[in-house]
Amino acid sequence: MNEILRDYLKQIDAAIDDVGETLAEQSRRLREQREAREKTLKDLWSRQRQLTTLQQDRARFDELQAENERLKQREEVLRERLRSVMKQTKALVEGMRA
């Protein structure tokens, strides 16, 4: 075989090996990027679920706060009525003693 042809074939083999290595490296990088993308998407979905839950909790918290305020007002009215009943009872007891 001609030495020039043999050298040329060796260069072609070396180039093919380089291309193969480059393709293998690019495949590895692509796989890593896909895995990183999937992980990022899962993290985003998880955070979106957490955000949705927090928003629902916030809405429920506002409702509970309003209910709590309403109950506080009702409790104050009942306490005032109880004070009035206690005063009247006290007056009745004192009236009966007199």
pTM score: 0.53
At 74 the three-state DSSP class reads helix
Give 4-64 as a DSSP string: HHHHHHHHHHHHHHHHHHHHHHHHHHHHHHHHHHHHHHHHHHHHHHHHHHHHHHHHHHHHH
pLDDT tens across 67-98, in order? 999 999 999 999 999 999 999 999 998 888 87
pLDDT tens across 20-78, in order? 999 999 999 999 999 999 999 999 999 999 999 999 999 999 999 999 999 999 999 99
Q: Is 92 part of a structural domain of the chain?
A: no
Give the count of domains, the chain: 1
Domain with 45 in it: 1-69
Q: Is 93 part of a structural domain of the chain?
A: no
Question: Tokens 């030495």 appear where?
Answer: 3
Sign of CA dihedral 51, 54, 60, 62: negative
CA–CA separation, 77 and 71 (whole Å): 10
